């Protein structure tokens, strides 16, 4: 905790491999990290953006129209970022397109491949893009979403995943680009996999991640929490978790829990204006907003949710003693966690209303 004043400076001299060098929330940063959604037509780019950031029901994506121009959206959340949804047919290196403007501020290039369709062309185009960018922007994270895996059998799914990742890596290696920073995720908008994949993509853009994980590890240890997730409430992306192994089932249950709490607070919640109207107080949210359920399915598990600030919620899975029995300890540790977080993400200069079209905020209550 003593080092937190310096949290905006990465702790090591070696530059982190996976971020753009511009810290989210950094006062010196002049742009917001961009997530570019690229890939073939109908691969599912707009669906992903609508489901993750606008809570569109997955089945409603059937009616989405093809994207005709780059759709830029600003997300105002625990960290500001932009999502750019590209038309599938666009040639990103056409001379009439200002490539520099597109790739300059980039946080991650998300390349969506339809796993239910013929994917050789998509791989070809992805590799051309990576090779074109490799010299000018060597630090770009390329995140490949092997998408629409919901319709596939388990065997076919893993074969396709392996085949795609192998082909991409092999072709890049053939062109002399070994160990390209390309990651692969199996995704679908019909389950939690798309949120999990986005969580991992976003986490790479948070230089404070190791410090956050440390805070969560400490919390888990002192309060005997089995698994702790720090969620961005609006998108249900988790921005950090403790370093114990993560399984999708525990993420799913925590994420569903957030949905339930939000639904209930939309009905029964009320606006909680800051006592003296200051932005500082607004930012801290309501310290007392917490929720607890006993999770019967796996024996005596408890789910505990605590609002950390306007954007973030801490969700913990606990067994043996429930949070009720160690309330004072939990309150104390969560408060310390909140303080640590506030120092890591100073944002007093950022409490401006979201720009038009921005997804932001969530009900509180």
Ligand X SMILES: Nc1nc2c(ncn2[C@@H]2O[C@H](COP(=O)(O)OP(=O)(O)OP(=O)(O)O)[C@@H](O)[C@H]2O)c(=O)[nH]1
Q: Please tell me the distance from the alpha carbon of residue 111 to that of residue 123, in angstroms, as a whole number.
A: 10
Q: Which long-range CB contacts under 8 A does 225-229 form with residues at least 24 apart?
A: 225/304, 225/316, 225/317, 225/318, 226/301, 226/316, 226/317, 226/318, 226/319, 227/254, 227/316, 227/317, 228/314, 228/315, 228/316, 228/317, 229/254, 229/314, 229/315, 229/316
Nearest to Mg ion of 37, 334 (CB atom): 37
Which of 25, 40, 43, 46 binds Mg ion (CB under 5 A)? It is 46
Shortest distance, position 85 Cβ to Mg ion, whole Å: 6
Handedness of CA 81, 82, 88, 91 (dihedral sign): negative
User: How many Cβ atoms sit within 10 Å of the Cβ of residue 155?
Assistant: 8
Which residues 25-44 are close enough to bind ligand X by CB under 6 A? 41-44
Shortest distance, CB of residue 125 to Mg ion, whole angstroms? 16
Distance CA 250, CA 303 (A): 10
Nearer to ligand X, 212 or 359 (CB): 359
Interface pick for Mg ion out of 43, 50, 67, 193 (rule CB under 5 A): 67
Based on CB atoms, which residue is closest to Mg ion, 46 or 338?
46
Q: What is the footprint of Mg ion within residues 162-201 (CB under 5 A)? A: none
* Pairing assessment for the beta strands 359-360 and 71-76 based on DSSP bridges: parallel
Measured CA to CA, the distance from residue 202 to residue 239 in angstroms comes to: 7
Of residues 185-224, those binding ligand X (CB under 6 A): 188-190
Total residues contacting ligand X by CB under 6 A comes to 21
Select 24 or 88, whichever has its Cβ closest to ligand X: 88
Find the shortest distance in angstroms from Cβ 88 to ligand X.
3
Min dist. Cβ of residue 149 to ligand X (A): 7
Binding to ligand X by CB under 6 A, coded x per residue (else -) over 38-77, reads ---xxxxxxx-------------xx-x-xx----------
CA-to-CA dists, residue 143 to 46, 48, 257, 361, angstroms = 16, 14, 28, 27
Interface map 209-238 toward Mg ion (x if CB under 5 A)? ------------------------------
Instruction: Work out which of 88, 107, 207, 340 binds ligand X, going by CB under 6 A.
Output: 88
- CB neighbours of residue 156 within 10 Å: 13
- 141 is a site residue for Mg ion (CB under 5 A): no
86: its two tokens: 């590209």
Size of site (CB under 5 A) for Mg ion: 3
Closest approach of Cβ 112 to ligand X, in Å? Answer: 6
Interface with ligand X in residues 128-147 (CB under 6 A): 147
Element (H, E) at 253: helix 248-268
* Cα(341)–Cα(78) distance, integer angstroms: 11
229 bridge partner residues: 241, 315
- Give the count of beta carbons closer than 10 Å to the beta carbon of residue 348: 11
Binding residues for ligand X, rule: CB under 6 A, are 41-47, 61-62, 64, 66-67, 87-88, 147-148, 150-151, 188-190
Binding footprint of Mg ion on the chain (CB under 5 A): 45-46, 67
């Amino acid at each position: 905790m003593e080092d937190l004043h310096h949290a905006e400076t990465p702790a090591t001299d070696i530059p982190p491999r996976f971020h753009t060098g511009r810290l989210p929330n950094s006062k010196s940063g002049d742009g917001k990290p961009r997530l570019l959604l690229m890939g073939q037509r109908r691969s599912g780019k707009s669906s992903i953006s609508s489901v993750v950031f606008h809570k569109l029901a997955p089945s409603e994506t059937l009616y989405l129209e093809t994207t005709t121009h780059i759709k830029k959206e600003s997300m105002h959340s625990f960290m500001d970022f932009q999502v750019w949804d590209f038309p599938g047919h666009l040639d990103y290196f056409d001379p009439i397109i200002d490539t520099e403007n597109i790739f300059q501020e980039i946080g991650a290039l998300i390349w969506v491949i339809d796993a239910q369709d013929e994917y050789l062309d998509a791989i070809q185009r992805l590799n051309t893009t990576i090779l074109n960018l490799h010299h000018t922007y060597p630090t770009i994270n390329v995140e490949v979403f092997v998408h629409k895996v919901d319709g596939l059998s388990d065997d076919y799914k893993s074969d396709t995943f392996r085949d795609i990742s192998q082909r991409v890596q092999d072709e890049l290696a053939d062109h002399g680009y070994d160990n390209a920073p390309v990651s692969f995720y199996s995704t679908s908008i019909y389950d939690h996999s798309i949120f999990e994949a986005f969580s991992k993509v976003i986490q790479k853009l948070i230089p404070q991640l190791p410090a956050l994980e440390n805070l969560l590890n400490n919390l888990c240890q002192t309060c005997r929490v089995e698994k702790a997730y720090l969620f961005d409430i609006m998108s249900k992306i988790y921005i950090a978790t403790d370093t114990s192994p993560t399984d999708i089932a525990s993420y799913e249950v925590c994420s569903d829990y957030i949905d339930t709490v939000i639904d209930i607070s939309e009905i029964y919640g009320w606006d909680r204006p800051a006592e003296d109207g200051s932005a500082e107080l607004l930012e801290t949210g309501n310290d007392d907003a917490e929720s607890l359920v006993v999770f019967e399915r796996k024996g005596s598990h408890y789910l505990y949710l605590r609002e950390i600030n306007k954007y973030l919620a801490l969700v913990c899975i606990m067994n043996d003693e429930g949070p009720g029995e160690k309330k004072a300890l939990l309150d104390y540790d969560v408060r310390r966690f909140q303080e640590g977080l506030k120092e890591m993400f100073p944002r007093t200069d950022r409490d401006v209303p979201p720009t038009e079209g921005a997804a932001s905020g969530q009900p509180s209550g």
